[in-house]
Every structure is written in structure tokens, then in C-alpha cells.
Amino acid sequence: MENNVVYFDGFCNLCNALLHFLMKHDSDKNLLFSWSKSDYAILTLPENVLEYTETSIIFYRNGNFYKKSEAIFEILKQINSPIKFLSYFSFIPLKYTDYLYDVISKNRYKIFGRKNVCTIPSNFDEDRFRNNTLTSAKL
């Protein structure tokens, strides 16, 4: 399995903004991306991780799957941006950071809106995107 894969909700405006941010600040092009509802995600994510794709970003690196706030911390460690310093907050127990993550995740469509269709950004290096074919995504 490929390393450094970010699985994200392609319908969520917040997730899409994060995708654009990561593309801009991943100058070494270490990160790969996949919609959490793509065929690629369904084929590569284990069942116990796949269940989190409705409410969480997933990050795969070196045989480990990270979800929720832990995924965000691990992803931030991979980019070249001043905001990378936020990864140092990973010392905070996950029950607290995941609680904040869950509050944002639960309200993300209300606050940030939602797309009806997943799109690949026009400035995107397509070879970094894994299987852009969506399966039966719920709208």
C-alpha cells in the first residue's frame, strides 16, 4: 500500500479547503489524496477504518491508519508551512482533541457548506490523486 495517503470527504467545503491548503504547502509532494468514498478507499481501507470515513479524515502512513485529530497532527508533520507548529499539540490527550474534532465534524456542513459533486481542483497534479471514481456516495 502507498504511504502518506489522505482520505477526505470530497463533498465537504472544509475538507476541500484543507485539500487545497495541503497541495499548496506540500512542496515535496509527499502526500497522496483519495476521496473517502472512492473505489480506491474502499479497496485499501480496512473495515474497522472504513467505518470512520463518514465523519473523519483518515491518514495512512507506514502501516498505520490515523483518524480524526490524530490524522490532522500527522498530516501537518508532512507539510512545509508555519501552521505545522500545530502538530506539537499532539501531546494533548486524544479524548480532548478528538472531542473538538467531533464538534467541528458534526457541524461542518452547517458551518462551511457542502458540494453536490466532488471535483478535482484545476491546479492539481493528477498523479497524486488516487482513483477519482466515486462509488455510491450519499448526497
Work out the average pLDDT over 48-52.
Answer: 86
Q: Is residue 135 part of a domain?
A: no
Beta strands in the chain (DSSP E): 5-8, 32-35, 58-61, 64-67
47 falls within a domain:
yes
Q: Are strands 32-35 and 5-8 parallel, antiparallel or unpaired?
A: parallel
Range of the domain at 87: 5-126
Any domain includes 133: no
The amino acid occupying position 123 is N
Q: What is the pLDDT of residues 88-136, one digit of tens each?
A: 899 999 999 999 999 999 998 888 888 766 656 666 667 787 865 544 4
pLDDT number for residue 133: 54
Local structure of residue 129 (DSSP, 8 states): B
- For position 132, what pLDDT does the model report? 57
Please give the grid coordinates belonging to residue 65: 491508519
Residues in the chain: 139
What does the pLDDT read at residue 138?
Answer: 40
Dihedral of CA atoms 17, 68, 61, 64 in degrees, nearest 10, equals: -160
Radius of gyration over every alpha carbon of the chain, rounded to an integer in angstroms = 14
Identify residue 10 by its one-letter amino acid code: G
Stated pTM of the model: 0.84
If one counts the domains in the chain, the total is 1
| pLDDT, tens only, 17-49 | 888 889 888 988 899 998 888 888 888 999 999
Residue 89 lies in a domain: yes
Question: Is 42:50 a contact under the CB 8 Å cutoff?
Answer: yes
Mean pLDDT for the stretch of residues 57-82: 93
